[in-house]
Structure 1
Amino acid sequence: MSEEDFSIVPEDQCTLGAIDGAIKKYMVQYDQLLSEQRELAISRDEQRLLAERFRERHNEAARTIEDDKSNFFMDIESEKETLEILKQQQSQLRRDIETENAAYCELQGKHNAVKKQSEASTALPEKEVVFTQTTWDAANPDGLDLKTRVIYPMEGGTALITFEEEIVAQKILSMREHRVGLGEECFITAVAEPVQLIVPSYVEMDTRISSRRVLVSNLPDQDGDSLLDKLEIHFGKSRNGGGEVEDREIQDDSGGVVITFCDTNVAKGLIDKQHHEVEFGKGNKHKVKVTPFLNGEIRLFKTKLSVCARTVLLTGIPAVMAADGLMDLLEIHFQKGINGGGEVEAILYNPLGACTMALFEGDSSPER
C-alpha cells in the first residue's frame, strides 16, 4: 500500500480503541453467526429425524397396505370356497328333499292302501263269535297265533302215542327202552323217541284288495250248485250292477261265495252298494252282503323245530301180529302206571312196509 493510501484514512479511525471496538463488534456478530449455525444444525438434524420417521411410517404403511391387500384376496378366495361348499350343500339338500318327497309319496301310497284295506275290513261279513278259552300267551307277546296243521310221514314199524299229561310223556322218554308183553312170555322192545316237527314261527303277508273279485255273504241255506247259479245269474246282469262272471267258488271255512268278474270295473260298484237283494226262487228274495275280497301273498316265512310235549314216537316195532291187535297191546301197556305210562289220548301204529301220514294240529290245551 502506498503512502497515499494511509494519508486518506481518517485519523480518528486508526486508533487502537477504535480497532478494539471493531473487533468486539465483529466478535459479537461472529458469536451470533455461530449460534445461528448451531440452531440451523439442530433444526437440520430434527428435520432429518422427522424425515427418517416419516420414511419409516411410509414403509410401514406400505407394508400394511400390501398385507391388507394380500389378506383381502385370501379372504375373497376363502369366501369363494365357502360359497362353493354352500352350493354343494344346497344341491345335496335339494336331492335329500326330493328323496324325502319320494319316500313321503310312497308312504302316502301305502297309507292310502292300508286305509283302503281298513275300510274294506270294516265292510267284511259279520260273523258271530263267542269266547271259548285263552289261546294267547300274555307272557310271550311275540308269539304267533296260528292254527298249525302238520303232516307227519311215519316210517314202518313205528307208533305215535299222545298222552293226556305231559309229565307221562316225559317219563316214557326218560325210560327210553320199553319191553311190551304180547302174551305167553312173548314180548317186543320199543324205543321211545321225541317227536320233532317243523312249525311256523314268523309269517309276513302282503294283502291287497282284488279288483275283480268280491265276497258275497249272508247267504240263505241252499244247495251249493243252486246257490252258485242264482248268484251268477243275478250278478251277471248289468242292470244289477254286475257283469260277465268268470268264476264262482264257495269258501268252505266261512260259507261265503267268491265271485270273479271278467271286467275290473264291476267289483267296486257292487262293493259300494254293499247290500243286494237276490232272488233265490219265485217271490223269494234274500238280502246278501257284498264286500271286498283280499288277496294275500306271503313275503317272509320262518320255521322252527318244535318238540311235541305230549306225543312220543315208538320205533323198532316188528310185525309179529295183526296191526289192530298190536296197537291195542301197545295202548294197554302204556296206560299202566307200573310201566311209567298214563291215560292215552290217541295212538297210531304204522306196520313195516306200510305208508301212514299222521296229522298234527295245534294243541289247544291250557298248558300249551
Structure 2
Amino acid sequence: MAAGSLLDVAPAQLFPEQVTNALGLPGVIGEAVGALIAAFLVGNIMLAFTGVAGPWAKRKITAAFTDRIAVDRIGPFGLLIIPAAAVQLLAKELIIPEGADRPSYDLAPLVLPASAMLGFSVIPMGQLGPLNLQLADPEVGFALTFAFASIASISLVMAGYASNNKYSLLGGLRAVAQNLAYEIPLIVTAMSVVIFTGSLRTSEIVAAQQQALFTVAGVTVPSWFAIVNPFAFGLFVVANLAEIGRNPFDIPEAPTEIVAGYQTEYSSSYFVLFYLGEFLHIFLGGAILTLAFLGGASGPGPASIGFVWFVVKVWAFFLFTQWCRSALPRVRIDQLIEIGWKGMLVLSFANLILTAVLVGVIAS
C-alpha cells in the first residue's frame, strides 16, 4: 500500500495498523510509531471531550436543570471559559501539606487519569470514514476495561492516605468501600453480556448486537443487550454510577460531609489532574455501557459514521450523570454499602443465572 493519506487504508484494520501502513513505516519500529501516533490521536479526542465537559458543559447542563444562568459572557456561548478555567487552575500555587507521604502524594493525581486512558485502549469507537478507531482488540479486552477502570480506586486511596488529612483519609476509605460494594455487581452483570456473546473480545461483543431482533412496521430493532435484557441494563447503569462516583453515589467526595474527600489537600496542576481523571472516568463509564448494552458505535446510516453514534451515546450518558447530580440526593455510606451488598449483588447473580438458563434453553 502506498504511503500517504490515511484515507487509503482498509477499515478492517485496527487504527495503529492503519496509521503504520499509511505512513509506510516498516518493521517493529514502524508498528511502535504507528501505535504511539494512534494512541496520541485517540487520547486527545478523549481529552477534548473532558475539556468541554468539565469547565463548560457541566455548568451549562446543571444551570438548565436548576433554572439558572451559567457561563455566557466569556466568548460565544461562554466557550472561552474552557481555556480561562485551565489558566486559572494551573496558575494557582501548588501547596504540599506538611507531613504528606511522597511520592504517593505526587503519583495519585497521575494514576487516576492514566487508568481511564488505558481503558479506552480496547474500546471500539467505530469508524470515522475509513478509519477504524480502535487501538487494540485482545481476546480478553472486555475484562481489561474493568481492570483498568478499577485502578482508579488505588489512586483515591493513595491520595487520601498520603495527604495527612483525616477528611482525605475518610474519602479514600469510602472509595474502597464503594468499590468493593459495586465492582462485584458491575462485573457479574457484565458477565451476562459475555454469556450472550460467548466472547470477551470487545469487537465481537459489538458485532453480536448488530443482528436484527425483530421488525415492526418496517422498522428493524437491533439486538442491543439493553433491549434483550433491560433488567441487566438497569443494574449496570446503577452500578456504573457508583463506579464513577456520580450522584447518588458521590461518597468519596461528599462536599457537605468531608469537604472534598480524597482531593481536599490538592491544588493547582494536581487538582486539575484529579478533575481530568474524574471526567475521563465518566466518559469511560459511558463507553463501557455503550459497548456492552447499546450496540457500540452502531446506528442508522452507513458504518463510516459509526464514531458519530459512539459520541452521541457517550455524551447521552454524560447528560444522564449530570441529571442525576442535579436531581438525586446523596445516600449515606452505610446505605450505599447495604444497597450494594444486600441489593445489587443478589440481583446481579440472579440476572446471571437467569441469563445462563435462557441462553442454555435457546442453544438447546
Determine which structure has the larger helix proportion and give its number.
Answer: 2
Determine which structure has the larger strand proportion and give its number.
Answer: 1
> Relative contact order: is structure 1 or structure 2 higher (C-alpha 8 Å, sep ≥ 6)?
1
**Structure exhibiting the larger radius of gyration computed from Cα positions:** 1
Q: Shorter-normalised TM-score: what interval?
A: under 0.3
Q: TM-score, normalised by structure 1?
A: 0.20
Q: TM-score, normalised by structure 2?
A: 0.20
